[in-house]
Amino acid sequence: MKQLQVRGINPFPYRFAVSAMAADLQKKYADLKNGEVTKDTVSVAGRIMAHRNSGMFVDLRDTTGKIQIFSHKQSLPADVLEQMKHYDIGDIIGVTGIVRRTPAGELTINAEKVEMLGKSVRPLPEKYHGIHDTEIKYRQRYLDLIMNEESRETFRKRSAIIAVIRQVLTAESFMEVETPMLHPIPGGASAKPFVTHHNALDMKLFLRIAPELYLKRLIIGGFDRVFEINRCFRNEGISVKHNPEFTSVEIYQAYADYNDMMALTERLVETAAKAVNGGQTKVKFGENEIDFKAPWPRKTMVELVKEATKVDFSKIADAAEAAKKAGELGVHVKDGANWGEVVEAIFAEKVEDTLIQPVHIIDLPKDISPLAKVHRTDAQLTERFETYVNGWEVANAFSELNDPFDQLARFKAQMEAREKGNEEAQMLDEDFVEALEYGMPPTGGLGIGIDRLVMLLTNSQSIRDVIAFPTLRHTAK
């Protein structure tokens, strides 16, 4: 800094005219032979990642890749050469010069003009090992991104996956909408909400746990195909699969049912997998290879539980009897659990972890699906499915319940569960029921957890690796 100021150089200037990106140059001059010099002058800008021979060779990295800079007394005035000596690893500079390939085979720009564009006054982490400390990775993501190509690639893929989802939906005439993040009644899912307060209205508000009930109001309003990609907030534990704020895409399609939603799930996920995986549907995740090629099998929850435990719960209608059977299978269920909760608990305990390849788990119990339509052939089930990959729930969808009387009854059942101490039971949203009373078309609804999808498609073992700034405890530095 002092060296620059002594020379009257602004370490933080305003602009630099970039004419070329590193990756484009590497591609354009791929056939340039070793030792060959072009007549092409280019201007590049980026961060100094390494320097050799007292700054004669500099590795410059921009957002696309790396290019070598060569500074020599033959092409640079003595004062600029002297100034180059004081540039540090981490500094952001702009360079103008002739493109050539060195005899050693490195594409290089012979600097004729060099400008400081943004001084780094702190040293960059060690170049070879990069950042390993997970706390630094998450708290100072910018350092992780500067140092680790793997992290840069993960976030590029995240962006590409979301872009593809948007493209597919838009191409199928879905309209992207925005619904409130601040809800007077948290609805659309079973979860503990974050609570806040609006001063002017002197009103309690909740950060949304799901956009579902508002998106359905838009369906009632006549927008037949809507989707929203945005954050949900749930005041629950943090783990490798859970962050308090996470991103979902929720999609609603009028006149469709859950079968249509299964096909849509497959189109979206398969397309996303190909988009970030060189057109391939097979993706490596940890020890496993997952093949996203559609179509995916469909299995009912009850039939998978039967396969795993030899017990057919469709034949045990009584909740108490089902709970007793669960106990015999070594599965703990809450006191007073209803039939659906028992089946779900056994499924979670005995089946979930085995579902590595994509599979739709269909026909979930009515007891645990208060917003889904009753199954057309079985009154204790709903037309709901959850798609599992790698043992994780990745999508959740149903033929949406559009009968206001049934919806009110389901809400009331939830309220009773809440009074019995189930904190995550859903709240009665009378305004939503009123909206249903104006008539909602038969509708298929689908939600996909974007973070988990990105994890699966980038071989990331923690959700914190796919969220740029994951939630961490505050620390006074």
According to DSSP, the β-strands at 107-118 and 92-101 are: antiparallel
Distance (Å, whole) CA 235 – CA 243 = 9
Is residue 430 close enough to count as binding RNA by CB under 7 A?
Answer: no
Q: Are 385 and 360 in contact (CB under 8 A)?
A: yes
Q: Which of residues 246-275 bind RNA (CB under 7 A)?
A: 246
Q: With CB under 7 A as the contact rule, which of the stretches 15-23, 24-32, 104-112, 215-223 interacts with RNA?
A: 104-112
Can you tell me which of 4, 9, 23, 56 binds RNA, judged by CB under 7 A?
Answer: 56
Q: Which of residues 167-196 bind RNA (CB under 7 A)?
A: 189-192
Whether the upstream peptide bond of residue 370 has omega within 30° of 0, thus cis, is: no
Give yes or no for residue 136 binding RNA (CB under 7 A): yes
> For residues 72-91, which are near RNA according to CB under 7 A?
72, 86, 88-89
Q: How far is CA 85 from CA 162, 200, 256, in A?
A: 43, 58, 67
Applying CB under 7 A, which of residues 22, 62, 70, 340 lies at the interface with RNA? 70
Of 246, 73, 269, 59, give the one whose Cα is nearest residue 164.
269
146 binds RNA (CB under 7 A): no
If one asks whether residue 129 binds RNA (CB under 7 A), the answer comes out as yes
The number of residues in the chain equals 477
Separation between Cα atoms, residue 393 and residue 453, nearest integer Å: 10
**Can you tell me the distance from the alpha carbon of 263 to that of 137, in angstroms, rounded to the nearest whole number?**
38
DSSP state of 229: E
Q: Which is nearer to RNA, 404 or 422 (CB)?
A: 422
Q: Does 244 bind RNA (CB under 7 A)?
A: yes
Give SS3 for 220.
helix
Q: Residue 455 is encoded by which pair of tokens? A: 């994890």
Determine, following the binding rule CB under 7 A, whether residue 397 of this chain makes contact with RNA.
no
- Give kind and range of the element (H or E) at residue 449: strand 443-449
Total binding residues toward RNA, as defined by CB under 7 A: 68
User: Binding segment for RNA among 6-14, 19-27, 254-262, 392-400 (CB under 7 A)?
Assistant: 392-400
Among residues 27, 127, 324, 420, the one that binds RNA under rule CB under 7 A: 127
Give the amino acid at 142. Y
Interacting residue with RNA among 50, 162, 177, 427 (CB under 7 A): 50
Give me the helices (H) in 7-131, please: 22-28, 78-84
Question: In the window 356-375, what residues touch RNA (CB under 7 A)?
Answer: none
Q: How far is the CB of 288 from RNA (least distance, A)?
A: 15
Residues that bind RNA (CB under 7 A): 50-54, 56-57, 59, 68, 70, 72, 86, 88-89, 102-106, 108, 122-136, 138, 189-192, 234, 236-244, 246, 392-394, 396, 424, 449, 451-452, 461-464, 470, 472-475
